[in-house]
Amino acid sequence: MTAMIYGYHPLREALRHRPHEIVRVLVGKGRRGERRRRIEELCRRHGVQLQVVREEELSRLSRGVHNGFIAELVENTVVAPVAGQDLELIVLIEDVQDPRNLGAILRICEGAGVGKVLIRDRGTAPISPAVVKTAAGATEWLDIERVVNTASTIETLKKEGFWVYGTDPGGLPPWQIDLRGKVVLCFGGESKGLRARTRKICDALIGLPMRGEVQSLNVSAAAAAVLFEAVRQRLDTHPLPPAGDSG
């Protein structure tokens, strides 16, 4: 049977945090007011199909308990840990508006074995077909969650023992920062990067030294450089001796 979510509050939270797992939303024909308006707004924002149906149809699908709202989920929506997934490495994305950039970052995250990807809801592109296509299947393997407030999410992660690093052109090179252990890497939008509040509450900022005439990289290219430096450090259990040290 197709997995379903019943009721306004569970549906609203699913649309906020994991809209890419929702195939369509069904709303009772007689439902009006703020709750319906809010669900319609979230469906529009994330490109989720919304259908208005008779209450009898909702009752048939839910066996009577629906409060006027049902969501049909994609099959196998639970993301199980896979080989190579690093549950102590989290990526947070905010204000990346180009679907191709978001898809590319998600593909990089999957390749780097990121344990979870947090995406700021407002200001960031939805997980649209264009994102899924660019991600080349990565969205099916990643644990992706949309968050409402970046700052509060970061504060919660800090309380759980994570070190949080933001990306900024003026930051330290990633190889000068210890990226092992419980780490969150934050990547900002194409035009302005991370929000000022996000940069302020990060434990440190990471930047890539540019030696050519071009002074910055595309956000997905920067994410690849930083993430795979983190992977290098996390896999390097026996560091090489300094250059020139014969042992």
Q: Which residues contact 59 (CB under 8 A, 6 or more apart)?
A: 66
Instruction: Give the number of other CB atoms < 10 A from CB of residue 144.
Output: 23
| Percent over 70 (pLDDT), the chain | 89
pLDDT of residue 74: 79
User: Cα–Cα distances in Å, from 201 out to 91, 138, 148?
Assistant: 16, 29, 17
For domain 4-73, the CATH class is alpha beta
Q: Residue 5 — very low, low, confident or very high, per pLDDT cuts 50/70/90?
A: confident
- CA torsion angle 165 169 175 180 (round to 10): 10
Res 82: pLDDT: 58
Mean local confidence (pLDDT), 165-171:
94
Tell me the C-alpha distance between 70 and 93, whole Å. Answer: 29
* 8 Å CB contact between 206 and 165: yes
pTM for the whole thing? Answer: 0.71
Instruction: For domain 86-235, give the fold.
Output: Alpha/beta knot (3.40.1280)
- Better-scored residue on pLDDT, 106 or 246: 106
Q: Which residue has the tokens 């780097």?
A: 112
Beta strands 49-53 and 69-73 are unpaired
Q: Where are the domains positioned within the chain? A: 4-73, 86-235
pLDDT digits (tens, 9 = 90+) for 107-157: 999 999 999 999 998 899 988 778 878 888 787 788 888 888 999 999 999
Residues 46-98 have pLDDT tens digits of 999 999 998 888 888 876 567 789 988 876 555 455 556 898 999 999 999 99
